[in-house]
Structure 1
Amino acid sequence: MKQTAITKRLAGLGGAKWGVYLKAKELVAQGQDIVEMTIGEPDVPAPSELIEAAIGSLHRGRTTYSNGRGEAGLRAALAERYSNRTGQNIDADQVLCFPGTQTSLYAVLMGVAEAGCEVLVGDPMYATYEGVVRASGADMMPVPIRSENGFRINAEDIAARITAKTSAILLTTPHNPTGSILTEEDIKAIGDLAIEHDLWIVSDEVYEELIFDGSEFSSPLSQPELADRVIVVSSISKSHAAPGFRSGWCVGPPDFVEALLPLSETMLFGNQPFIADMTEKAIRDGSSVAPGMAQRYAARAQRLYERLAEETQLQVHRPQAGMFAMIDVSATGMNGEDYALHLLEHGEVAVMPGASFGETMDNWVRVALTVDEAAFATACDRIIKHAKQLELENA
């Protein structure tokens, strides 16, 4: 039977990038002792107060239809939060609620790009970005994010790739997979380009609350001159250790949100009221788990950096935020995918090949910092033992 153009555009962009992760799951199911460090699953369960809030809302009968914008209480809470954070006057009518950041990204990209457009995206990038861009019909144009710049996307590299077809710049700050954070100066320079070329800025800020000590978060939404062209997407998945609730949102200019509303109503007619009530509580109360997660992930990244620097030729990029650390494995003579498969088979540790996140990371792997302390220590020991074995084989 004939298939549609969108299925062809998205061919190969699904589970193919998660081959090592899936193979590790198979080995675990077979009883093999694998330390899984592939995906960004928080290392704590969703807070009990949020679960209780959702259950209470269910008991109150909050299982009816919502509306395309999302529940009024949640949108008001988000408007207040972003107004306080940015110093700008954000109204509830600037908010649309979606089931998670991923759905929000999909809808927003549909609103800023279409066939004949190009969207600039930093390389490396989160694994689904190419899919949400291609789904709109637009072409994704990778912009290399360089290790020598601390894995922060550079305005000059963006400028070199802007064409008459460019419609939007998709940013991630804090960044997945590298954990870098754009500075206010970075954002100002990128914003100047967006103004000069009349481009949208879409900012994925899902790791905003997992900032490590000594680092500072900035958002393009905080800059008044960008108010008519910035759309922020986020969720409670990371900040509140609640990925399974699938509760996210976008915040943007009023006219953009109004124009996007029919698409939201077509996709899902508002988020579930009982989840919206729980999310409203999460937003108004703040996260009880984010500070602890940030502290643990920062400490694990530092230990990984120190141990591998002392005992191997592997080099760790220390993140400023998020759930991951990147390891440069080029000293092994293997690319990231070959190394990840070899480590899984011979070292019993599962990590993600860097190429799953973009061509610039071909010699890197991504390590999730979200396993417990005992598993993390075991993983470090195994990675070091495996590296030493490789050194002997290559000597």
Structure 2
Amino acid sequence: MKLAKRLSNLGTENAFEVLNEVNRLKSAGRNIISFAIGEPDFDTPDNIKQAGIKAIQDNFTHYSPSAGILPLRDAIVKYISATRSIQVNHDEVVVTPGGKPIIYYVLHALVDPGDEVIYPNPGFPIYESVIRFTGGVPVPAPILEEKDFSLDTAELEKLITPKTKLIILNSPHNPTGGMLTAQDLKTIAELACRHNLWVLSDEIYSRITYAGTFASICSLPGMQEKTIILDGFSKTYAMTGWRLGYGVMPKELAVHIARLITNCESCTNTFVQYGGLEALTGPQDSVISMVSEFKARRDFIVAGLNNIPGFSCKTPNGAFYVFPNVTEACKRLGLPDSKALQQHLLHNGDVAVLPRSAFGVRNTGETQEYLRFSYAASCDIIAKGLERIEKAMR
């Protein structure tokens, strides 16, 4: 079979590969506790489900504008204007089936072959995958444990060259749960303005924070016209299967992103958009409750992991992930890396996690080993999982 050469540059999201392995083991009769997939275990709030059902009953089952229905875009305008302290209009909003299309379309709209794109590493693997697929050059910016899993902005500055086109930010951060500080954002904004760079700010976890206040780089002077905000409904409202996200960007770019949508999927599911409209404009009690529960789980899993010999886990400030350092755990078991430890825990402990290698190549000089745990599970399940890990370590 002769395939296009470009496919060799396309990566994947390893969380789904681990999920397939977990499902295979479960079908064989194994009882697996999974901390691998980044998906809230809560149900979509009932008011949102009812809004989607009503939209179907009201026959909102036809095409919508490629950029999204106007009521939802207007609701996004009000939400973004209020939470990012900027003035936005609906021509600057593009609704997409999930957050990933914003990554895909923005990179295709901005990056020419040979252009360099700086992205966080470890990080969401789709960044690097799509950069390569467009013909761009991925330039990893180390996310450092010693900086509470934030960027080293001095090192970031060294990565900028005349070929740099775009910087990707993700705060709160997947896989570490780290957040950029106000000083980090100020420094990055100064670099972006000085070098005339675009910034793609992935803010999908912006509502899931535990300490401090979420801040967006687009709120800083001179940055609104250089920033594409990526946000959505999957994490905040437990709507992963609904596939609903959006981007906020200069309207000159939004026109081209909408045209890419026209060429690919025509539009985002219309009745799903009405579910999103209810999510933004309806009661927010479910979000507050979910974040409170996530905070309790975070504290529980961090304390539990730090009690397991060989594990050292920082307390994250956002998202629903922990990223313990397992360098000593690997040494204790005579394992070469976190991938081997992940396999050991899965096959000998019946616990699924993700290794450091699922989130990008190692940075230059990187020697530490890490695992990612998603604590989108009850404290009872977390306790059972930790017990199994401790046993597997013995």
User: Which TM class, normalised by the smaller chain length?
Assistant: over 0.9
Q: Which residue in the other structure is 1:6 paired with?
A: 6
Gaps in structure 2 of 5+ consecutive residues: none
Q: What TM-score, normalized by structure 1, do the two folds share? A: 0.93
Backbone CA RMSD of aligned residues = 1.6
Q: Give the 5 Å matches for 1:18-29.
A: 18-29=16-27
Q: Distance in 2 between matches of 1:183 and 1:40?
A: 24
Q: Could you tell me which amino acid in structure 1 is paired with residue 375 of structure 2?
A: L
Q: Distance in 2 between matches of 1:222 and 1:353?
A: 34
Answer whether contact 2:202 2:230 (CA < 8 A) is retained: yes
Q: Distance in 2 between matches of 1:153 and 1:187?
A: 10
Gaps in structure 1 of 5+ consecutive residues: 390-395
Distance apart, 1:294 and its partner CA: 2.0
Q: Distance in 2 between matches of 1:85 and 1:286?
A: 17
Answer whether contact 2:13 2:126 (CA < 8 A) is retained: no
Deviation string 1:262-308 (CA, Å, 9 cap, x unpaired) is 21221222222211111111111254332222222222222222233
CA 1:15–1:158 in 2, change beyond 3 Å: closer, same or farther? closer
Q: Give the 5 Å matches for 1:1-395.
A: 1-10=1-10, 13-14=11-12, 18-212=16-210, 214-285=211-282, 287-332=284-329, 333=331, 334=335, 335-358=337-360, 359-360=362-363, 363-387=369-393, 389=394
Distance apart, 1:16 and its partner CA: 5.6
CA 1:81–1:16 in 2, change beyond 3 Å: closer, same or farther? closer
CA 1:17–1:292 in 2, change beyond 3 Å: closer, same or farther? closer
Q: Distance in 2 between matches of 1:286 and 1:170?
A: 32
Q: Distance in 2 between matches of 1:269 and 1:310?
A: 51
Deviation string 1:54-77 (CA, Å, 9 cap, x unpaired) is 110001110111112110011000
Answer whether contact 2:355 2:372 (CA < 8 A) is retained: yes
CA 1:377–1:17 in 2, change beyond 3 Å: closer, same or farther? closer
Distance apart, 1:311 and its partner CA: 4.3
Answer whether contact 1:122 1:145 (CA < 8 A) is retained: yes
Q: What TM-score, normalized by structure 2, do the two folds share? A: 0.94
Q: Distance in 1 between matches of 2:183 and 2:288?
A: 26
Give the share of equivalent positions with the same residue, in percent. 28
SS across alignment from 2:65: coil
Could you tell which deviates more after superposition, 219-228 or 291-300? 291-300
Deviation string 1:310-367 (CA, Å, 9 cap, x unpaired) is 3423101211111111111110213110001001111111101111112258610001
Answer whether contact 2:64 2:270 (CA < 8 A) is retained: yes
SS across alignment from 1:282: helix
Deviation string 1:110-132 (CA, Å, 9 cap, x unpaired) is 12212111100011101221112
